[in-house]
Structure 1
Amino acid sequence: MGWAGRRRIVAAVTAVAVAATVGVIAYRVLAPAEVSTPARDDYPARSVPAAGVTGRLPVAPLIVDGRLRVYAAPRQVYADQPVDGRSRRTPYWSFRRWPASLDAVVASGTTVVSRWSDGQLVALDARTGRVTWRADGPEPASERAARRTGTAVVWRPSGLSVSGTADGRPVVVTSGDGEIRAVDLADGGQLWRAAVDSDCREPLGIGPGGRLLTVDGCDGPAVVEFRDVATGVVTTRWRPPGADDELTATLIGCEPGGVGCAALRTAGPGDGSARGWLLGPDEPIETPALDGPGTDLVDETAVGIVGGVLVGRAVPDGGQRWRVEVGPGRVIAVQPGRVHVLTEANELVTLDPATGARLSGFVLDIGSDGTGWAPGDAYAADGYVVVERLRRPVDPDGDDQRYYLTAESLIIAAT
């Protein structure tokens, strides 16, 4: 064999070796993978900070067990601590998946449940960050549109919720492409599954007594469907008396994650058609005290601002319980035992929903950021409030740099 022939053989062997090396590298980079980094430190104690601004964050936190802040990234769910830390810290624990993307995160007690773009549910022990179970679920009906802060993933996790059944059993309910499925929060074991047409059904959230509410517009005029989360059986199909064929519905008086919602507000295509309904074991009860679009419900009290006065009304009879002058503003969030009002000057005022007594009040300002911002999404849990700060004038079509006030656009406060 001549020199030219030997050169061709060497070149061919080299090409095969290079291709094999590239293939191994590509497989390691692109193959499905999980990386779990559990906690190395002890589970933190609860913080009890004084009322006031505690910090600012670049992404939206889910406050878990009053001890951790849990965040969502495109392919990662992770936590830091303490809750009142001034800025985001090195992760206390972290869980990554590839190539699936993170779609939603909810929490119940010390369990954090994440749903991914392939439909898989992964439950993590918040105390350690270790995986406690995995379960299959339906893939999301569509790709979730989420801005940089990720509020849509952790604060508005449509299609994923944790509910208690009528007898108190915690259940994870996930809905997506053509299916609703429920699994036991304790071990991920499947409880039931139901085929649905996701093109004409809009899941709303969980009402009292462990019932999943869905607007069903598949056949004829839209109705609200009530499904028992323990069995998957549709127990009631309800339509507001005198409603138009078109119907929109919003749950109010909810815990974080759209669960335990105490009331419903429905509306048709025209202005002034909003109607409030108190939810219970039977059909919804019309409750005019909940009609106003800016009205919320907490601890059986409807709260809303009229002419700069915050009014608390008993539900369902609508009798006035108290009224407090707060000035121009709006109810930005509620949680058990607290009503949070944000004024035009970006002062956060917190009141007792039972009496209207002022619990705290301070301006949402930190560092040199100032108060010349507009509020975006807001979240309240465990005595804390977190608010997105948007650049004025708000441009909903602008990119994230134009849309948000700063890189750390969320401000967190203890109330």
Structure 2
Amino acid sequence: MGIPRGRRRLAMAVVALLATVAVVVIGYRVLAPAEVSTVARADYPPAAQPAAGVVGRLPVAPLIVDGRLRVYAAHRQVYADRPVDWRYRTTPYWSYRRWPAELTGVVASGSTVVSRWSDGRLVALDAPTGRVLWRADGPEPVKSAAVVRRTGAATVWDPSGLHLTELPDGRTVVVASGDAEARGVEVRGGRQLWRVDLPGGCRSDVGTTASGQLIGLDRCAGPATVEFRDAATGAVRERWRPPGGADELVVTPLGCRTGRSDCPALRTAGPGDAAGRGWLLGTGEPVAAPALDPAGATVVGERAVVVLDGVAVGRSARTGAELWRSADLGAVRVLAAQPGRVHLLTETNDLVTLDPATGGQLSRFSLNVGRDGTGWAPGAVGVGGGFVAVERLRRPVNPDGDDKRYYLTSEAVILAAT
């Protein structure tokens, strides 16, 4: 005796309903916004003090945090490993992942790591534990047409629209800007200090100064003008154009502590300029610094360092007076700088590190690891805590090539202690 037709239809309807509910539940669990925080399960490592030389090679670009961790960027994840001087990437010490937002920038102040996401969200993580310290809303980042390479170097070494600066009272502010809005958030505690509307499309952020200001380039009405916005209040304190400058300007920050944050100087250039003009930054108008005019010049503290006719020269950034010169290095160029160190790269990819105050050589060694050799071109560079990390590109460099053609090897980043 079979099941009555009415009951059979009812049973089929119930089964279909249950299947639909199951699909909805599974779909929600997979696609719903979520975050996954995997905190550290080991002790915070001590600060490393490795001997000068190549530490190792990595597949992704490290942000050196607190002299103890390496922090990396993935598509939807920020994570750390340790020890900072280990030869290869290791199992994550901690990890933080969001969905469906994408990671667009990472900066670090002391032991606080601040990440920015494609929905504008700012999330601060505690470097020793990986725990979330605070969350804050911010403007959505400007969408860029630039290719995001597999090392994530742009995300951790030069994040667009995400900068740090220290106020005169010692507080540190993270400034996040989008196409039509900027916000300043205190790193300690995540309190929003200000929010301002910006003219979209005709203004861009350049970086931050070492004296607590956001540098912007305004092309909205008339000649390009550099503006300095107080990072404590969001108010514009100064609008400035270099005397006799062109209507169009390219503004390049110099000597920044990391990326384009906490920069003590900048260079302005007009169309067709071979180099430009250097300027020291303070609380008022920029002060002319001819020692920073040459292309490739940088500043470390009060010292300007430049390579002229193959000779590394140190000058007073304020007066231009020559302080030292080092003529026995071979053909070199300035690669990067950090407090107490200026890094030069030779034609054969030797890394030479000088004391910017005296010109004394702190270290020199070949940037070679394993059997990789030195027949590569330098790409993006990140520095911090005495370490230097360099992307190694395949020669001849093809900026339009895919990652396999663009990079020398799968482990394209070489890490060195200086």
TM-score normalised according to structure 1 size: 0.97
Is 1:47 equivalent to 2:63 in the alignment? no
* 1:137 positional shift: 0.6
Q: Is the 8 Å Cα contact of residues 274 and 295 (structure 2) preserved in structure 1?
A: no
* 1:329 positional shift: 2.5
1:2-41 matched pairs, under 5 angstroms:
8-41=9-42
1:2-401 matched pairs, under 5 angstroms:
8-143=9-144, 145=146, 146-272=148-274, 274-325=276-327, 326-401=329-404
Deviates more, 1:303-312 or 1:247-256: 303-312
* 1:182 positional shift: 0.9
* 1:413 positional shift: 0.5
Q: Is the 8 Å Cα contact of residues 141 and 198 (structure 1) preserved in structure 2?
A: no
Letter in 2 for 1:287: A
**How far, CA to CA, are the matches of 2:402 and 2:279 in structure 1?**
38
Letter in 1 for 2:393: L
**How far, CA to CA, are the matches of 2:45 and 2:145 in structure 1?**
32
**How far, CA to CA, are the matches of 1:339 and 1:244 in structure 2?**
31
TM-aligned CA distance change 1:384 to 1:188, over 3 Å? same
Please state whether the residue corresponding to 1:379 is helix, strand or coil.
strand
Q: Is the 8 Å Cα contact of residues 183 and 192 (structure 1) preserved in structure 2?
A: yes
* 1:111 positional shift: 0.4
**How far, CA to CA, are the matches of 2:31 and 2:139 in structure 1?**
23
Cα-to-partner distance string for 1:173-202 (whole Å, 9 max, x where unaligned): 111131111112111111111100131111
**How far, CA to CA, are the matches of 2:104 and 2:350 in structure 1?**
33
**How far, CA to CA, are the matches of 2:339 and 2:387 in structure 1?**
11
Aligned length: 415
**How far, CA to CA, are the matches of 1:214 and 1:43 in structure 2?**
38
**How far, CA to CA, are the matches of 2:234 and 2:337 in structure 1?**
30
Q: Is the 8 Å Cα contact of residues 164 and 262 (structure 2) preserved in structure 1?
A: no
* 1:2 positional shift: 7.5
Cα-to-partner distance string for 1:335-364 (whole Å, 9 max, x where unaligned): 111111111101001111111111100001
Q: Is the 8 Å Cα contact of residues 275 and 294 (structure 2) preserved in structure 1?
A: no
**How far, CA to CA, are the matches of 1:171 and 1:207 in structure 2?**
12
* 1:24 positional shift: 1.0
Please state whether the residue corresponding to 1:188 is helix, strand or coil.
coil
Deviates more, 1:367-376 or 1:272-281: 272-281
* 1:5 positional shift: 5.5
* 1:315 positional shift: 1.1
Please state whether the residue corresponding to 1:349 is helix, strand or coil.
strand
Q: Is the 8 Å Cα contact of residues 297 and 307 (structure 2) preserved in structure 1?
A: yes
* 1:299 positional shift: 2.2
Deviates more, 1:283-292 or 1:3-12: 3-12
**How far, CA to CA, are the matches of 2:86 and 2:370 in structure 1?**
15
Please state whether the residue corresponding to 1:42 is helix, strand or coil.
coil
**How far, CA to CA, are the matches of 1:391 and 1:257 in structure 2?**
24
Cα-to-partner distance string for 1:231-272 (whole Å, 9 max, x where unaligned): 111110000111111111010011013222111100111233
**How far, CA to CA, are the matches of 2:101 and 2:118 in structure 1?**
5
Unaligned residue ranges in structure 1 (runs of 5+): none
**How far, CA to CA, are the matches of 2:313 and 2:363 in structure 1?**
17
Letter in 1 for 2:99: W
Please state whether the residue corresponding to 2:79 is helix, strand or coil.
strand
**How far, CA to CA, are the matches of 2:30 and 2:235 in structure 1?**
44
**How far, CA to CA, are the matches of 1:233 and 1:90 in structure 2?**
44
* 1:208 positional shift: 2.7
**How far, CA to CA, are the matches of 2:103 and 2:190 in structure 1?**
18
Letter in 2 for 1:333: A
* 1:9 positional shift: 4.0
* 1:220 positional shift: 0.8
Letter in 2 for 1:370: G
**How far, CA to CA, are the matches of 1:346 and 1:244 in structure 2?**
37
Unaligned residue ranges in structure 2 (runs of 5+): none
* 1:400 positional shift: 0.4
TM-score normalised according to structure 2 size: 0.96
Letter in 2 for 1:57: L
Letter in 1 for 2:368: D
Please state whether the residue corresponding to 2:351 is helix, strand or coil.
strand
Please state whether the residue corresponding to 1:50 is helix, strand or coil.
coil
**How far, CA to CA, are the matches of 1:105 and 1:126 in structure 2?**
12
Deviates more, 1:396-405 or 1:287-296: 287-296
**How far, CA to CA, are the matches of 1:271 and 1:111 in structure 2?**
40
Letter in 1 for 2:267: R
* 1:8 positional shift: 4.3
Deviates more, 1:351-360 or 1:272-281: 272-281
